[in-house]
Amino acid sequence: MNKTISLWGQSLYRQFSLMLANQPKLSYYLHPLLRWNKPGVHPDYHSARIVDFRWETDQMLSVWLEPAASWSGFTAGQHLLVTMMHQGRYISRSFSISSSAALFTQQKQIRISCRIQPQGEFTQALAAGIAALPHLSISDAMGDFVLEPKANSALEQSIVMVAAGSGITPLWSMLSSLRCWTSPIVLFYCVKTAVQAAFLTELNQLAAKQPLFKVQLIETAMTGRLNLVQRLQTHTNFSLQKALYYFCGPEAMSRQFIDDLIQQGVSATAIHTELFGLARGGSEGPVKQALMIQQGKVISVDVAAGVPLLQAAEQQGLSPRFGCRIGVCYQCVCQKKSGQVLNLRTGQISGDGPEQIQLCISAAHSDLQIEL
């Protein structure tokens, strides 16, 4: 009964907001006041006070955050969208939480760890301004890349994890959150050289303390890429078919591991992935024409197959609204008036008629007309 009343109240609240000014939240009306009190805080997200920061490597920055009481917490392995004000506009990017669940339970803090990309607007702005930033805005935690206990523990003889570069962040959150070790876990941590390996000291300390955990550092500059199946087959009494797999890294890396394991009879349901970048399905084919309408002006853009429409528009000097650029935040949603698009995440092709699309994960499948 109370849940029904709560849902009814939420619906009434939203309808009242929409009636006033076609806005889904009353907080939008208070946004100028909120920005005066907490500059840069986004009305759609939760305020998170910056508690501390530290460089894990010369390329990775860790930031400790204390979310507002409205933030409901997370499950180890999940990610969130982080937003900040930069040069008069909001910019956003998705990051996995890199701290243990215990840190939030005991101190109400979380940590994000960001690889500073040379061409990354968000990470460059964060690194340059971190000493003066008081707050960031964060979304609710999301994602299903988490460790899930299974009813039949006989199928869990071991857990295999593979991290590439900053892909270590959700896996370290999982490992540091474990309190009851019932299965052996091996982590293959792939980096070019050891100096790029964040959390390596902590990982080695965990391996020294926990006999069920082993970490193997793969320095690809010296040994080349990891051949996962070959490496696992050298382990005594190891069964490929009775393990669970967790991969976090570039799409191409994970795809190769998945294909190799399935060929060895591993069930696809035993493999869990968190990917960097988008699958470039259908990357070959003729160039399409997109008519992009922005503020009443029609711009014709030639779009190569497999190229995100957001990227194609920016290359023509247009400036569509965007946030995370990976299909998470929905800030780049716009109206497709006609034509088909390919969803670069799912591989699905849209219908021909009008519908809303996300520019950052949509590529032209036919000639298009889009209202930005």
Segment 233-242, tens digit of pLDDT: 988 788 999 9
**Percent of the chain surpassing pLDDT 90:** 49
Any idea which of 16-25, 61-70, 86-95, 103-112 has the lowest mean pLDDT? 16-25
CB 298 within 8 A of CB 292: yes
- Which tops the pLDDT comparison, 341 or 89? 341
**pLDDT value at residue 18:** 45
Alpha helices in 26-109 (DSSP H): 31-37, 101-107
Residues 257 and 198 in one domain: yes
Residues 256 and 309 in one domain: no
Task: Place 317 in a pLDDT band, splitting at 50, 70 and 90.
Answer: confident
* pLDDT tens, position by position, 76-90: 999 988 888 887 767
**Does a structural domain hold residue 131?**
yes
Residues 298 and 327 in one domain: yes
CB 341 within 8 A of CB 262: no
**pLDDT value at residue 219:** 96
* pLDDT tens, position by position, 40-85: 556 668 999 999 999 999 999 999 999 999 999 999 999 988 888 8
* Cα 120 to the center of its chain, rounded Å: 15
**Does a structural domain hold residue 282?**
no
CATH, residue 331: 3.10.20.30
Q: Which domain holds residue 349?
A: 288-371
CB 292 within 8 A of CB 303: no
* Cα 372 to the center of its chain, rounded Å: 25
Any idea which of 9-13, 178-182, 225-229 has the lowest mean pLDDT? 9-13
Residue 71's identity, in one-letter code, is: W
Structural domains in the chain (count):
3
Alpha helices in the chain (DSSP H): 2-21, 31-37, 101-107, 121-129, 168-177, 200-209, 220-223, 228-233, 251-263, 309-315
- Token pair 């390596």: residue: 200
Residues 158 and 227 in one domain: yes
213-219: strand order across its sheet: 213-219, 185-191, 158-164, 243-250, 271-276
Q: Is 80 exceeded by the pLDDT of residue 311?
A: yes
**pLDDT value at residue 6:** 62
Question: Of 138, 173, 207, which one is at a domain's C-terminal end?
Answer: 138
